[in-house]
Amino acid sequence: MSSSNEVDSAVGEGPARSLKGKNNTEQSALEQRAAELRRLVEEPSGKEKAAQELATIERQLADGREATAKQAAAARMVGIRRAFGSVTSSIDADEQRVGEKIEEVSGAITRLNDRYSQAVQLRAEAAALADRFSLPKPTLPDVAPPARRELAITLALLPNTLLATAWGSQPTEECEHKMRTRRTYAEAVATPGAEIIERAGLKPFPELTERQREIIAAREREKEQERRAFASLPKIPSDGSIPLGSL
């Protein structure tokens, strides 16, 4: 069984299909009423009352989505614990297999080096005998050393290396005022957990502090002053001419 199959078996089909029934019925009814109220809000008569009821229902819908997502997250956490146990229990076996392969490769490299050393020694022996006794040197082909063979290049370029760490960063995003941050949970992309978070939405940004509200108000005042200053400038006619009174 592959590791992906082990994880799938441990996790199961996920919590999404089991979250049906009464809660979904209530949510559907609220969604329908909310749609009706949104239409009423656009009409002059009864607009205020409809808006108040719509706001209440919108909060109920948001609470319902949050509760449903939290149930799904809790169920997914159970699956994650099971999958994590299955994966981690396989790591020791994987390590043992890698160790065995390393020993096998190490032994093969030792044999290769020994063979090359024997060839070098035989060549040296032949050269010594030929020189000492004035014998013709035997024709012995050149033998490439192990480190210069194609195999050495292949070993150096192996695509797989042992990971130092698999823990990534936790991406964040800024609010429209560039004052607050919140996690986007992008590190969990393409997982069932990410789908649950997407349905529920991200956490709200932290509440603005008093100092932050003062800064935002000051910015708005500056923008208003700029708008007024711009509005007081003389208007240039569409033909591009400049009014004499503005000179």
For the chain, domain boundaries: 168-228
Residue located via tokens 């607009």: 47
Q: What tokens does 75 get?
A: 């169920």
Measure the CA–CA gap between 201 and 173, rounded to whole angstroms.
14
- pLDDT for the residue 18: 46
**In a 10 Å sphere around its CB, with 0-12 CB exposed, 13-18 middle and 19+ buried, how is residue 34 labelled?**
middle
Are 94 and 29 in contact by the 8 Å Cβ rule? The answer is no
pLDDT in tens, 44-100: 666 777 788 888 888 998 899 999 999 999 999 999 999 999 999 899 899 999 999
Q: What tokens does 145 get?
A: 């050393």
Identify the helix (H) or strand (E) that includes residue 183.
strand 181-183
pLDDT in tens, 6-25: 444 444 444 444 445 656 77
- pLDDT for the residue 46: 63
Q: What tokens does 244 get?
A: 């004499």
pLDDT in tens, 130-180: 988 999 999 999 999 998 888 888 877 777 777 776 667 889 999 999 999
pTM of the model: 0.58
Average model confidence (pLDDT) for the chain?
Answer: 83
Longest Cα–Cα distance in the chain: 123
Bigger pLDDT: 2 or 23? 23
Measure the CA–CA gap between 179 and 207, rounded to whole angstroms.
11
Residue located via tokens 């199959």: 5
